[in-house]
Structures are given as C-alpha cells and as structure tokens.
Amino acid sequence: MLRSSVVLLALTVALGGALSACAGREQDPDAPATPSASETPSAAPTELAFGDTESVSWEPTNNLTSDLAIQVERVREGRFADFDGLVAPGITEANQPYYVDVVIANEGDAEIGGLDVPLYLVDSQQTLTPPSKFAAPFEPCPSGPLPTSFGAGEEAEMCLVFFSSPSATFQSITFQPDVEVTAVSWTGEVDVPTAKPTAKPRPGKDRKSKRR
C-alpha cells in the first residue's frame, strides 16, 4: 500500500473533454477560450521537425491574446520506474511516459505567467493528451505551466511530461489551442534511454579467504 504522504500526480483533462462545453453558454471574459466539440479544424496542420521554431498566436482567455515562439527541442522516453511513489488515476505501465524539452518565448505584450500552453502529445491511437502536473517538483522533468511571471520578451526552457494512451506509441507534439486554430505539429526521432549496465563483481569479492 502506498503511504499517505506520496506525491499526487494531477493530470489535466484531454483536449476532447475541454471542447465539450456547450456553444450557447454565456462566456466569462476570463474563462478559457474553447469552442464547441462540433467544430472541425479549418486547415491541415503545419508540420515541423524537432528543433524547429514556430511563431503562433494564442488566446488563452476570451479577453487575452498573446504571441509565442515555440521550439520543441527533443522528446525522450521516460522510465515508468521514475514515477515510483506517485499516484495518478488511470496511469499504468502500459502508458508510456515521454519527457519533452521545449523553449517558449513571449513575443507579445501580455503578461501570461502561470498559464498552461496548449501543447499535446498525439499518439498512435490519435489521442491528444495534455502534459502532467505535479504537486511537488519532479526531478527528472518538472512539467507544469509557464513561470509565474512571464512578460513580453521573456523566454523559458521547460520539460513537460506526457503519458501515451495504453500501449500506444508517440506520433507528435502538437500546439492546438482549439479546433478553429491551425495546429502546429513537431515530429522526429524519440530518444530511447540505454539500459543501465549491470555492475560486475569485483575480483575476489566472492572468494572465500584461505586459512594459513
């Protein structure tokens, strides 16, 4: 049984759930700007390679717009053993973790500190999964929102944690704030960690000492 003091791993809802709000509902000006699920993307996604930078416009709330420069540097497979002691509903060893290194720059005038940039992992089952959040610092890959203060001209190097669908494989990292905005997808070769070498016994370690 896990101790009650274990760190909780809080996963945000996937994009499909975020788009399920009723279109006719009155909107709060500070609420996230999300269209109804019935809308479909108006254009094919922009496809980039790891290391490429793309400037995008982002409307995190109904009365806030900013411009970002996003670079997905690399994607690494994580080890499920890294998450020993963490709890998350629905996460098992079949959900492959990925560590994604990104660089995000604020090219607009708005202060957007503490917000979640809408980056998603798209896997082989075509499921869009948002990055994970942690109740305490996660050493291998901190993950989480933008820095608390993130004004015009500021840049942040971040590592985000994603879990694929059960038994699915990586397809892309995609910027997709809502279905009306053309998606931007980064693809490339995923770094796979090498197996840790098995420690060799020291010479004479297991030998019995001879009596004189």
pTM for the predicted model, two decimal places: 0.74
Q: Which residue has the higher pLDDT, 28 or 81?
A: 81
Instruction: Mark 4-19 as b/e (b = at least 16 C-beta within 10 Å).
Output: eeeeebebeeebeebb
Place of tokens 């254009």: 43
Mean pLDDT estimate for the chain = 78
What are the pLDDT digits (tens) for 108-135? Answer: 999 999 999 999 999 999 999 999 998 8
Which residue ranges form the domains of the chain, and what is each CATH number?
A: 51-184 (2.60.40.1240)
Highest averaged pLDDT of the listed ranges 12-16, 64-68, 136-140, 178-182: 64-68
What are the pLDDT digits (tens) for 71-82? Answer: 999 999 999 999
In angstroms, what CA-CA distances link 157 with 2, 50, 75, 86, 193?
33, 15, 14, 24, 21
Q: Is the pLDDT of residue 43 over 60?
A: yes
The answer to whether residues 85 and 6 touch, using CB atoms and an 8 Å cutoff, is yes
Backbone phi, then psi, for 187, in 5-degree steps? -130, 165
